Structure 1
């Protein structure tokens, strides 16, 4: 049994629905289908969920949302009419519109894209529609995995072919509650975990994860296999194909995830596993990065002898609700790496607090810093990886501002000036994938 999730690009219009049907019918093990709301496509300039957000915003201010809702209606009506389906989509859409007019909650409104998408696809496939509000249980804003697993097993027992909307469930008061955007991935993973699926297939518009961002590196290689740990490191640094919270339910039960392309289903895609053989694999699995960081450098002689130094340091950032991204240190200095977005207007307050609380000898700041993660399970047993990275950067004229390696030894974090960000990623990619590139 396979749980299969289709993203918004896979359901953007009737042509995409036809591709989805072909994929499902190719494998009888694809029994439980989880869907997102229609995304942008050839005939759609907007994601349905974005349009629903706008409808709620307008309605909550007693403003007319008919023009925006008409775009949503056109998306679903066109799909139903193009495919000659029997579902009474106009009546269903009218019900949703009335709910919005009568003050439906934000979560209810933005979840309707997935709900409508699932109803249409179930009609097209001849599968049963099961509402995820009857499957996924929230405790406030957090999923109760134990209760969800129990409900999923109870409701889906004996049901062989089912379509389920992603992205939402219901809370203890039976009210619709949503995940963060992209949360349909999580719905699929919870169902796969609860039912002990053979595999969780996630169809999107790319043939798996790429070694680097194609907007930066020209035609980067596809990652064939990747571990949960590697994916977590790359996702944290900006590589997004799968919602990172979707990993946890599957990791705990060692269920493989296969990222595949709806538009090229014959491609193998990327297989995500609990463990992968590090032999016969590239030393570097992937390279990702994020811009817009500030580094606050503190110097104090014998700071290591002050038992409470780091507690005081982190307290300053905690009290200002600023998460610390990295904390490289030496015997008499420490650098605090934080996101510009979180620091923003609090810079002066934070610096003053650090002066008062830590009595540092010197405090300085560096702006326009970007972080790059070089990740690979093959790095653990390979010699000279750091040397190759630093040599490649030096040859490209990139000045390294910070270096940090995790205890797992599967990643190296490098800080560079933002002006060197793209050049640095290209240089590292060519160093480890130059043979493939030829």
Structure 2
């Protein structure tokens, strides 16, 4: 059994719908389908979800949303016409128009893109349609309820052999529509895969999986054929953006592999994401490199050194108490280093300083801004004792200052801090050294 999620670019027009249908029919195991709303058809086009958000904003501001809504309707009518479907969409349009006029929430408006696309795709495939609002459940605070959803969804799926479940949204206990963050159809697909106890979760998009580096930085980087969920999450935390970060948790929890595939190049095997690296055919110590700007380095040092770890423990507890998230770096008995996103730092710095004062331990605090965090990911990197030396030496040869370097103890990643204006050059140098 395969759960196949198709992104907005995969369902942007009738031609893309036809590609999706060919993919689904090519494997009888693809019985649970999760669609996104139509994406861009060309560079300057607008996504349907963006148009729906505009409808909500225009209605709220007292501006007629009809011109925008007509554009949305025409997108779906063009798809239906191109697929020669006789489905009457007008009742659905009328209902959505009425709800927007009555002041429907932004969540409701945005969700209708997936809802309408799901109805179209189910008709085109001759599959059943299951409204996500009935089986993807949010609590009274608008927070997704994974366990209740799993129970309800697992039971519901037993009633269908082939079904389309729209992504991105669900329902709350009071009957209102709730949505995930943008890109949330990835999450829906993983939730469905977990509830169905699927053998595989396929995520179809417009790229053939992960690359070992950002192609905007490194020329023609090699593809990643196999990566683990942990490695993928590390790369995403440092700027890699192929898959919605939150979508890995339901399938990783259930031990279900994920396959990133390209709708426009379906013969390409893409990237396989699994819980462990054991299944790799071409095991490599280096899985990928990614970078992200906008970090600050906090260095806290105790004025009166001693052999107690209470200072470092107090720093970590203080960061937790004030809500300051960080990429923790190695610390000594009397010194702690925290790598923090700069935007977040200056929202929490006053609270953090107040927490440090509570320690009643005189200390120095230094903050260095404009740092880029680069992460090298791969289970073999930490085991290679020369890794840190190689990174340091190659960057020194390029004249790039190394602000900080930390080889994680989890045998997974190595973080390097460099000046922001040197990030791209550093990534190219590191990629060239290891690949």
Cα pair 1:3 1:30 within 8 Å, conserved: yes
SS in 1 for 2:250: helix
Cα pair 1:303 1:309 within 8 Å, conserved: no
Q: Is residue 82 from structure 1 mapped to residue 82 from structure 2 by the alignment?
A: yes
2:55 corresponding residue in structure 1: 55
Cα pair 2:308 2:333 within 8 Å, conserved: no
2:150 corresponding residue in structure 1: 149
Cα pair 2:383 2:411 within 8 Å, conserved: no
Q: Return the match for 2:411 from 409, 412, 422.
A: 409
How many Å separate the matches in 2 of 1:154 and 1:107? 26
The alignment covers a number of residue pairs equal to 433
Cα distance, 1:346 vs. partner?
5.6
1:129 corresponding residue in structure 2: 129
Cα pair 2:213 2:288 within 8 Å, conserved: yes
Q: Which stretch of the first structure deviates more once superposed, 72-81 or 220-229?
A: 72-81
Q: Return the match for 2:421 from 419, 422, 427.
A: 419
Cα pair 1:13 1:43 within 8 Å, conserved: no
Note the residue ranges of structure 1 that are not aligned, 5 or more in a row: 434-438
Cα pair 2:324 2:348 within 8 Å, conserved: no
Q: Deviations over 1:249-301 (max 9, x none)?
A: 21122111100000100001000111123684222101112101111222224
Cα distance, 1:34 vs. partner?
0.2
Cα distance, 1:335 vs. partner?
2.1
Q: Return the match for 2:315 from 313, 316, 319.
A: 313
Going from structure 1 to structure 2, the CA distance change for 1:63 and 1:321 (only over 3 Å counts) comes to: farther
1:298 corresponding residue in structure 2: 300
SS in 1 for 2:219: coil
Going from structure 1 to structure 2, the CA distance change for 1:83 and 1:176 (only over 3 Å counts) comes to: same
How many Å separate the matches in 1 of 2:254 and 2:22? 29
1:274 corresponding residue in structure 2: 275
Give the RMSD, CA atoms, in angstroms: 2.2
SS in 2 for 1:252: helix
Note the residue ranges of structure 2 that are not aligned, 5 or more in a row: none
1:206 corresponding residue in structure 2: 207
Q: Which stretch of the first structure deviates more once superposed, 196-205 or 152-161?
A: 152-161
Q: Deviations over 1:376-432 (max 9, x none)?
A: 022244342222222222222211101123221210011111011001111111111
How many Å separate the matches in 2 of 1:133 and 1:352? 44
1:436 corresponding residue in structure 2: none
Q: Which stretch of the first structure deviates more once superposed, 180-189 or 331-340?
A: 331-340
Q: Is residue 370 from structure 1 mapped to residue 372 from structure 2 by the alignment?
A: yes
TM-score scaled to structure 2, two decimals? 0.93
Q: Deviations over 1:204-253 (max 9, x none)?
A: 01000111111111111111001111111111112121122221221122
Q: Deviations over 1:35-72 (max 9, x none)?
A: 11111122861111122122112212332222322322
How many Å separate the matches in 2 of 1:188 and 1:64? 35
Cα distance, 1:303 vs. partner?
5.0
Cα distance, 1:342 vs. partner?
1.2
1:100 corresponding residue in structure 2: 100
Cα pair 1:86 1:123 within 8 Å, conserved: no
SS in 2 for 1:63: coil
Q: Deviations over 1:77-111 (max 9, x none)?
A: 21112222112123322321211111112221111
SS in 2 for 1:291: strand
Q: Is residue 255 from structure 1 mapped to residue 256 from structure 2 by the alignment?
A: yes
2:71 corresponding residue in structure 1: 71
How many Å separate the matches in 2 of 1:153 and 1:339? 39
Cα pair 1:167 1:187 within 8 Å, conserved: yes
Cα pair 1:282 1:432 within 8 Å, conserved: no
How many Å separate the matches in 1 of 2:37 and 2:354? 47
How many Å separate the matches in 2 of 1:360 and 1:217? 46
How many Å separate the matches in 1 of 2:415 and 2:177? 40
Q: Is residue 332 from structure 1 mapped to residue 334 from structure 2 by the alignment?
A: yes
SS in 1 for 2:388: helix
How many Å separate the matches in 1 of 2:159 and 2:364? 68
SS in 2 for 1:379: coil
Q: How does 1:370-409 map to 2 (within 5 A)?
A: 370-409=372-411
Q: Deviations over 1:282-328 (max 9, x none)?
A: 22101112101111222224456455434543455455543223343
Q: Which stretch of the first structure deviates more once superposed, 280-289 or 339-348?
A: 339-348
